[in-house]
Amino acid sequence: MAGQGPAPSSCDCFVALPPHTAAPAVIFGKNADRPRREVQEIVYVPAATHRPGDRVQCTYIEIEQAERTHAVVLSRPAWLWGAEMGANEHGVCVGNEGVWTREPVGEDEALLGMDLVRLGLERGSSAREALEVITALLERHGQGGSCKEEPVPFVYHNTFLLADRGEAWVLETAGRYWAAQRIQEGSRNISNQLSIGTDITAEHAELRQRARSQGWWSGAGEFSFAEAFSLEQQPPRMEAAKARYRAGKELLRQHAGHITAETFMAILRDKASGICVDSEGFRTAGSMVSVLPRDPALPCVHFFTATPDPSRSVFKPFIFVAGLKPAPQVMSPSFSDDPAKKVPRFQSTVDRRHELYRRHQAALELMDRDQEQGQKLQQTLRDLERQGLEAVNALLGGDVAPSPEELAELFFDCVDAEMKFYK
């Protein structure tokens, strides 16, 4: 099967809602674990209106465009159109994970799970709406195509975690079939495996009929999506995910009632559990934590690293406001002759590193080479991150009221400050 090599691949997504959070807010977090040399960039796409009949080119296929698309901020592998994770101007967050199920993966090009992340964010003004967008597009266009910037195809199906200020949803897919579970309180995590059992809130109209016709469910007793559609013989990467899923669940349990953005940052940095990945083939390429206050008068805040290995990266805050200052330091170069856009694909390579990635890479090399200097730099970066967190906490606590201009420059200024420390 395509994509069943020995290299471990993993992602972990988390959400916490009251009463598990310390404040009346929903907190979302994700590590995007990707091929080691892949670059993740942060891209802001403003809201737009489109003409009837307009089409949009996704990573591989073109589909019908929506009449209106929301403003989004995306953390994405620089070679593709979609995103590993992101948020929109309405406080919706979405992240995806790869899974292999009893439904065969196809190498035919269709929508990537990462395309569906972006499409859900651009077209959904709530987590529920984003889920409906994703499932409708999945049923219409299917999912497929290589998820890695290499000539040998790497193909998987997807699970998603979606959140807004009020609730969260887990959406799990197998081919064009899907099941979804609504989360209204407490906490939840997903890790490269089917986790929705009998507690199904919404599902594909023919899901159970499909399971029965294939002999995966007898039709008697309760229907479990995970039991019916999981592979009997799990690929190694899905077996490994079970330990991470349990570890993530335990970390959420330990912090229940006190979960903050800082809690999620610490969980995403946890190497002992395998949640923070740093292996020969794969590593955590980018990380995101979002705070979605229940009070609509307060802004949602989205923290991004834009660099690999969150244990040695800085989470930088982004807030949707008018007149956002672009941050070109975290945007990858574009190429007129891009090997990801030509068929056959990925026949050559290009250097997609953005400026922050380059400087961070040099800093990691210094940390590895000179332990004392590395520790000093690490402490400086954590101090920088703490300043950003304190400013955000003061804003959300109502202690300060920054001007719209300050908020528009917040993400750029934090990226710029980090860049200066690497000089």
Q: How far is CA 137 from the centre of its chain?
A: 19
According to DSSP, residue 325 is labeled P
Spatial distance between the Cα atoms of 121 and 98, rounded to a whole number of angstroms: 19
315 half-sphere exposure, CB direction, 13 A CA radius: 27
CB-neighbour burial class of residue 153 (10 A; exposed 0-12, middle 13-18, buried 19+) = middle
Q: How far is CA 64 from the centre of its chain?
A: 24
11 is catalytic: yes
User: Which residue has 């083939």 as its token pair?
Assistant: 281
Q: How many of the other CB atoms lie within 10 Å of CB of 279?
A: 13
According to DSSP, residue 311 is labeled G
Which one of 11, 93, 147, 300 is the catalytic residue? Answer: 11
Whole-angstrom Cα Rg for the chain: 20
Contacts 24+ apart (CB under 8 A), 61-69: 61/109, 61/110, 61/111, 61/141, 63/111, 63/137, 63/141, 66/122, 66/123, 69/45, 69/122, 69/123
Answer yes or no: are the C-beta atoms of 12 and 31 closer than 8 Å.
Answer: yes
Residues in CB range of 280: below 8 A, 6 or more apart: 7, 36
Give which of 209, 137, 146, 149 is closest to 173, Cα–Cα.
137
Give which of 121, 421, 138 is closest to 300, Cα–Cα.
121
* Residues catalogued as catalytic: 11
